[in-house]
Amino acid sequence: MSDAKRVREIVRRKYAQIAEQADKGKECSCSCCCPSDDVDYATLSDKYDDLDGYVPEADLGLGCGLPTEFADIKAGDTVVDLGSGAGNDAFVARSMVGGKGRVIGIDMTQEMIDKARINNEKMGYDNVEFYLGEIEDLPLDENSVDVVVSNCVLNLVPDKEKAFSEIYRILKPGAHFCISDIVLKGELPEKLKESAEMYAGCVAGALQEDEYLNTIKKTGFSNVYIKTSKKIDLPDDILREYLTEEEITALKESRLGILSITVVGYKN
């Protein structure tokens, strides 16, 4: 099995596990970051409670930002949510596009698609759809989408250049994406790398911030810029297993580490 296929299978299994945990009333933060125990590590996800269109049953705590808040979605738009999970961002987007718009969720895990469709059936939306598919090979026509959103998912994709090329392909000329994702700023302390990957599997697939932005630009996007950025701090109890108190203080005071960014880019 190739490395890319192995990564996809690991992520697919984890998504399925999270969907099953949600059915039992549990949630975890960041789609790839949920540990196998029952501890709540919800440090990455932002709160959706005050957003129009919010459906609590669809919020599994999987995100690391609020991409819909900065996506400039308009009434009548066709919006695609990549890695749509149980439908959280898709339903918020639906409140923005209104009855004449369209929202399409794409996820590679059948268990998540099933949950999203059940949630959508409860809401009674006839202009929200969820399809099984991979971001590197989207089941959508070219030049057909006004806005693409995604929340803490692109960092999981093995071939990020191919993923952004697919986003570019499906967007209409002049259209844009707004994506929240995990990136790195500088090298994490060597002692922390194993811990970070254990606690936040997202980090294993995350690029350096500059490399992430350059990958987007290589696929043809212009006017690429970061709308918001926040540092993600690992809990002190985990840090103390690997670092001294002085090293912990230095890490917290630096701008190095794990960042959640929301980035926008436009198709020419």
CA distance 77 to 103: 8
For residue 253, the model assigns a pLDDT of 84
Average pLDDT for the chain: 85
CA distance 92 to 266: 22
- Across the range 182-209, mean pLDDT stands at 74
Q: Where are the beta strands (DSSP E) in the chain?
A: 78-82, 102-107, 128-132, 145-151, 171-185, 222-232, 257-266
The amino acid at 231? K
The pTM is what?
A: 0.84
For the chain, percent helix, then strand, then coil, each to nearest 5? 40, 25, 40
CA distance 129 to 187: 40
Tens-place pLDDT, residues 90-141: 999 999 999 999 999 999 999 999 999 999 999 999 999 999 999 999 999 9
* Contact assessment for residue 90 and residue 130, using Cβ atoms and an 8 Å cutoff: yes
Tens-place pLDDT, residues 224-268: 999 999 988 777 887 888 889 998 888 888 867 889 999 999 999
For residue 108, the model assigns a pLDDT of 92
For 12, other C-beta atoms within 10 Å of its C-beta total 18
**Cα three-residue angle 232-234-239, rounded to 5 degrees:** 150
Per-residue pLDDT band at 205 (split at 50, 70, 90): confident
CA distance 19 to 26: 9
Tens-place pLDDT, residues 6-37: 555 666 566 556 645 655 555 554 444 444 34
For residue 242, the model assigns a pLDDT of 84
CA distance 266 to 43: 30
Residue with the bigger pLDDT between 133 and 186: it is 133
CA atoms within 13 A on the CB side of 109: 26
* Contact assessment for residue 238 and residue 258, using Cβ atoms and an 8 Å cutoff: no
Per-residue pLDDT band at 5 (split at 50, 70, 90): low
Instruction: For residue 235, give every residue at least 6 positions away whose Cβ sits within 8 Å of its Cβ, in sequence order, or none.
Output: 41, 43, 199
Residue 135: which of 112, 105, 114, 111 has the closest Cα?
105
Q: Computed over its alpha carbons, how large is the radius of gyration of the chain?
A: 18
For residue 107, the model assigns a pLDDT of 95
The 3-class secondary structure across 156-225, one letter per residue, is: HCCCHHHHHHHHHHHEEEEEEEEEEEEEEECCCCHHHHHHHHHHCCHHHHCCEHHHHHHHHHHCCCEEEE
Domains in the chain, please, with CATH?
A: 3-186+201-234+257-266 (3.40.50.150)
- Across the range 186-206, mean pLDDT stands at 68
